[in-house]
Homo-oligomer: A and B are copies of this chain.
Amino acid sequence: MGEREGDNGGGQAILIRPIGIIHSCFKEKFGIPRQPGIAPSATARLELLSPFGRPELLRGLEQFSHIWVHFLFHQTLVEGWKASVRPPSLGGRVKVGVLASRSPHRPNHLGLSAVRLEKIDCRPHRCILELSGIDFLDGTPVIDIKPYIPYSDSIPTASAGYGVGKEALSEVRFSREAEAFCREYRERTGRNLLQLIGELIRHDPRPASQRSRPEQQFGMRLWELNIRWRVEQDGAVVEGCEEVADWVAAGSGLDEA
């Protein structure tokens, strides 16, 4: 915090206030897609806060398939920023400058994601945007939304120094018990858990430091569920899914086998 609020270095600080808040299935950082768009089944509801939750502020937005969401990496606010980071897409081995990364440990902690706008649901005194292809932690404060304008925002020929988005694991298999749970859960809630888990794990959410231990089981929280999985050769196996009544008591989400 000191880095942000100390000497203002020639630029005047200004106050930013949230215009909305995210409700998503991601209750902790582990398992969140590293970029938006790579898990189309990951959905969220963006609730606009007063005085911004009025239909007139959104008029015309329904004509756009995608929007930009500007948000705050609120969980790293207290951790401050770092000059250098080790992007997971470089296997955690290479240091790059924080401004050459999309790391949350950045000055001002500003996040930016292009996501699909599925639906706008406005009722008196409250507007909800339904989004998909998201990478937001539950409770993320939103500070702006903008229509995605392909003419100026889409630069398919841009060259990028290091890649993201490659699917790292060739296959995601489910144990008989895990698959049965997912099917039953879908009937009960409408959530396509099989597909979502597949999309998330296929991109290998393991921290680089944990990849050398193939025997390790990981736990990933989605909604009120703990998803247990393990990597085998170049594929992954989902071993179990359980409802966790009190996640805080249940631990960190990284379960040792």
Contacts and interface: CB of A to CB of B under 8 A. Distances in A.
Contacts of A144: 99, 106-108, 110
Among A13, A36, A154, find the residue whose CB has the most chain B CB atoms closer than 10 A: A154
A100 to B, nearest CB: 4
B11 A14 contact: no
Instruction: Give the interface size class of chain A.
Output: 35 or more
A72 interface: yes
B152 A60 contact: no
Interface in A110-167: 110, 112-114, 141, 143-165
Interface of A: 3-5, 8-21, 35-38, 49-52, 54-66, 68, 70, 72, 77, 83-84, 94-102, 106-108, 110, 112-114, 141, 143-165
A10 to B, nearest CB: 5
A97 B60 CA distance: 7
A100 B161 contact: no
Contacts of A63: 100, 159-162
A66 B97 contact: no
24 contacts: A8-B18, A9-B52, A10-B49, A11-B18, A12-B18, A14-B77, A15-B16, A17-B107, A19-B107, A19-B108, A57-B100, A58-B97, A59-B100, A64-B100, A64-B159, A65-B158, A108-B143, A114-B152, A148-B155, A148-B158, A150-B155, A152-B164, A153-B158, A156-B156
